[in-house]
Amino acid sequence: MVDKVAILDYIGYMDAQLIDEAYEGLHKRKIHTRIAKVSLIAASIIVLCIVSINKFVFPLISTTNDVEPGSTLPGADEIYPTVLVDGVCYSWRMGKAIININTTDGSFAEPDQYLEDKYYYGEIVNGNASVPENDRELVCSFDVSGSIYTDPNDEDVVYLKISTDWMKDAVVVFDRVE
């Protein structure tokens, strides 16, 4: 009996580079669309931040130093922190992003207990562009070191364990940018 699908089977021996390229081609187009969306969102966020800082933060600082830790984000009015994971952009969560901070004294709890059920993805690479172009690249206006973790049960968030010159071992939630 003639094997009608033998040729289809042999196409499976196609060059790996060609197979990857065909998949990546589509994938990259999606990334570019996402990056365009991220740029638009980032621009909106910058405007929102400037307005918020002028209206709420400056009056608050001028009257008291008791600003809730984790609610402010240095440099957010320049570049909003965004990271690329598996070709998907995630941005620093609006609102309470740092999950291991003690809001009363500003100290950070042991980060590992928050990351026990998460998957280690890789180390953060500081990006120079205005949007991340490669996986693990984080763009923001301050230097960061640390690691990226994914959540096996939730593709819409990633967790970054980060240290900067103003905080150490903070666990920060980044939300998927649609």
Partner 1 sequence: MEDSLIIDLYIQRNEEAIQQTSYKYGKRIKDIISKILSSHETIEECENDTYLETWNRIPPNEPRDYFLAFISAIARHISIDRFRKDNSKGRQAEIYNLSSEIEEIIPSEIDVEKEVEGKLLISAINKYLIGLPKYKRMIFVRRYFYMDSITEISMECRYSNSKVKSILLRLRRDLAEYLSKEYGYGR
Interface residue list for partner 1 (CB under 8 A) = 3-23, 25-26, 29, 86, 119-122, 135-136, 150, 152
DSSP-assigned letter for residue 57? I
* Gap between the Cα atoms of 31 and 88, Å rounded: 7
* Gap between the Cα atoms of 154 and 171, Å rounded: 16
User: Shortest CA distance to 108 belongs to which of 64, 174, 175, 172?
Assistant: 172
Q: Which of 58, 120 has the CB closer to partner 1?
A: 120
* Other C-beta atoms lying within 10 Å of the C-beta of residue 37: 13
Beta carbon of residue 176, minimum distance to partner 1 (angstroms, whole number): 15
Q: Which of 75, 122 has the CB closer to partner 1?
A: 122
Residue 88 near residue 121 (C-beta atoms within 8 A): no
Beta carbon of residue 51, minimum distance to partner 1 (angstroms, whole number): 37
* Gap between the Cα atoms of 165 and 11, Å rounded: 54
Beta carbon of residue 134, minimum distance to partner 1 (angstroms, whole number): 11
Q: Which of 136, 161 has the CB closer to partner 1?
A: 136
Six token digits for residue 147: 């690691």
Q: Which of 20, 78 has the CB closer to partner 1?
A: 20
Beta carbon of residue 57, minimum distance to partner 1 (angstroms, whole number): 38
User: Shortest CA distance to 76 belongs to which of 104, 99, 57?
Assistant: 57
* Gap between the Cα atoms of 92 and 173, Å rounded: 6
Beta carbon of residue 120, minimum distance to partner 1 (angstroms, whole number): 7
Q: Which of 76, 158 has the CB closer to partner 1?
A: 158
Q: Which of 72, 126 has the CB closer to partner 1?
A: 126
Beta carbon of residue 18, minimum distance to partner 1 (angstroms, whole number): 5
* Gap between the Cα atoms of 87 and 146, Å rounded: 19
